[in-house]
Each structure stands twice: as structure tokens, then as C-alpha cells.
């Protein structure tokens, strides 16, 4: 049976290499494609693992520069701001996993999945360290007959291991949470400070002013007390008597023989 390889984007980095080693120990027969910033480093990791190849990707190309090369799944181990791996996976109906997205930046991935849900699974690895705290907790919980609640906490030591991509992820996730995620030139960019501020175009100003004026007028009318209708209660007595006499004449005229009813009512 032919098994298509897993494309590991960032597979030669600190986290990607450890993931590849774990995957190799669990599935010795699984072929791997390792892509990294340094192709020679990726090739060294591939040689170490066996049944693996190093590839150089073109993130601006729809096929990532792989042409018709077989791929069975895509795993991304760095911040893929262009969603190049996700677009590649969706085009080929492949499952996709990204471990670098924060909980506040998964909207593009979810939106991409919603457009074509039948194109394959999209795994959101946005939980803390991709399940490094939740998975062991759930595994340990199996030893108990009953658990009322679980509270998970994590502490990252400054000497914990990790490559440049891990450092970039931590900096982005810790400092850019209040920023605005924008799309420009096909790339999702986090903007902060003055760069995050945007205004309306001039062409929209007249329309917005008219809408604001209509809303303020509507609110003003709602706040005004209801006007009293002209009723018999507020009419002078003389006016009431004249109106009663007029109604009496109309009734008597409409009952006269030979008189046109329509004329009598005028």
C-alpha cells in the first residue's frame, strides 16, 4: 500500500524536529517531507530520521513549488502568515494542522474551512503548546473514578528549549493580543499602536452624516411627548353643541323620503 508523505513545514526546527522524531517512533513506515529555512539542515534531519526527504518551498506559489509531488497531509510548525500551507492543503483536499496560531487569530483558518468543509480536516492547534498541558491532564484523569473540575496552569521557564520560531511565537502571542489583524497584499498582519488605527474614506463621509442625522432625528421624535389629539374633551362647549346639532341634521336628512342618501351625507 502506497502511503503519501506528510509535509512538515518547519520540520527541521526545534519543535518540528522533535515532532518528526516522535512521529517516526510511532509510525516507522510513514514517509516525511521536511521543509525549513535552511534546506541543508532539513536534509540532515531527514537523513537522521530515514524514509524522509528535504524540500525547498516557494510560499508564493499555489503548489508551494512541489509540482505534482504526492503529499498526504500538511503540518505547519511556524507562523504561516500567508496561510500558504492551508491553501495548498485545501486545494488538494488534504488534512491540515497548524500549531502556531493563537486562539485570537484562528478566524482566517476557520473561514477558509467554512468555504469548503468537504476538502479535508483543519485541526486548530491553538491550545496551550498544542495540548502539552491538556493531553497529559486528560490522560491522568482516566485513573480517577470521578472528577468534579479540572484547572490547568502552565509556567514557561526562561531556559526551556525552543528554536527561533518558538521565540517569535511567544513574542507575537504575548505582545500583539490587543492589536488588529488585517489582510494586506495576501498576507495577514498584526497591526498595533498608530498603525492599527484606520479611518473612513472621504466618499463615505456624506452618507455617514446623513445616517447620523436620521438617527438623531428619530431619537428626538421618540423622546418628545405624544401630542394630544383634537377630541371632544378639549373642545369648548359651544363647539360640542354645534357638532351634535350637525350630526342630528345629517341623520334626519338621510332618512327623508325621496332624498339622495349620498347627497344627504355630504
Residues 67 and 116 reside in one and the same domain:
yes
pLDDT digit string, tens, across residues 76-115: 998 888 899 999 999 999 999 998 877 667 888 899 999 9
* Structural domain includes residue 226: no
Enter the C-alpha cell of residue 202: 472621504
Residues 35 and 145 reside in one and the same domain:
yes
User: Residue 258 has what pLDDT?
Assistant: 45
Q: Which domain holds residue 191?
A: 6-196
* Structural domain includes residue 259: yes
pLDDT at 200 > cutoff 60: no
Residues 188 and 73 reside in one and the same domain:
yes
Q: What is the CATH number of the domain that holds 89?
A: 3.40.50.720
Residues 12 and 143 reside in one and the same domain:
yes
pTM above 0.75, yes or no: no
pLDDT at 146 > cutoff 80: yes
Average pLDDT over residues 246-251: 61
pLDDT digit string, tens, across residues 1-56: 678 999 999 999 888 999 999 999 999 999 999 998 889 999 999 999 999 999 99
Q: Which residues, 6 or more positions from 259, have their beta carbon under 8 angstroms from its beta carbon?
A: 253
Q: What is the number of structural domains in the chain?
A: 2
Average pLDDT over residues 153-165: 68
Domain boundary among 196, 223, 251: 196
* Structural domain includes residue 222: no
* Structural domain includes residue 230: no
Residues 134, 152 contacting (CB under 8 angstroms): yes
* Structural domain includes residue 225: no
Average pLDDT over residues 156-185: 67
Residues 131 and 243 reside in one and the same domain:
no
Amino acid at each position: 500500500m502506497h502511503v503519501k508523505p506528510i509535509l512538515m513545514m518547519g520540520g527541521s526546527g526545534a519543535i518540528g524536529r522533535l515532532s518528526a522524531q516522535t512521529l517516526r517512533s510511532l509510525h516507522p513506515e510513514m514517509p516525511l517531507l521536511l521543509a525549513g529555512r535552511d534546506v541543508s539542515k532539513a536534509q540532515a534531519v531527514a537523513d537522521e530520521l530515514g524514509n524522509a526527504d528535504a524540500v525547498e518551498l516557494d510560499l508564493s506559489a499555489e503548489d508551494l513549488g512541489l509540482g505534482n509531488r504526492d503529499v498526504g497531509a500538511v503540518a505547519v510548525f511556524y507562523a504561516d502568515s500567508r496561510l500558504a500551507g492551508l491553501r495548498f492543503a485545501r486545494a488538494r483536499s488534504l488534512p491540515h494542522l497548524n500549531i502556531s496560531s493563537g486562539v485570537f487569530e484562528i478566524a482566517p483558518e476557520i473561514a477558509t474551512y467554512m468555504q469548503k468543509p468537504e476538502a479535508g480536516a483543519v485541526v486548530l492547534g491553538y491550545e496551550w503548546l498544542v495540548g502539552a498541558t491538556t493531553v497529559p491532564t486528560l490522560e491522568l484523569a482516566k485513573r480517577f473514578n470521578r472528577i468534579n473540575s479540572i484547572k490547568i496552569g502552565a509556567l514557561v521557564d526562561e531556559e526551556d528549549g525552543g528554536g527561533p520560531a518558538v521565540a517569535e511565537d511567544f513574542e507575537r502571542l504575548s505582545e500583539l493580543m490587543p492589536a488588529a489583524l488585517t489582510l494586506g497584499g495576501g498576507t495577514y498582519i498584526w497591526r498595533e499602536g498608530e498603525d492599527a488605527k484606520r479611518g473612513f474614506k472621504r466618499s463615505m463621509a456624506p452618507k455617514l452624516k446623513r445616517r447620523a442625522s436620521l438617527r438623531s432625528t428619530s431619537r428626538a421624535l421618540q423622546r418628545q411627548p405624544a401630542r394630544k389629539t383634537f377630541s371632544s374633551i378639549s373642545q369648548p362647549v359651544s363647539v360640542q353643541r354645534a357638532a351634535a346639532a350637525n350630526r342630528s341634521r345629517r341623520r334626519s336628512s338621510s332618512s327623508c323620503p325621496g332624498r339622495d342618501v349620498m347627497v344627504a351625507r355630504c
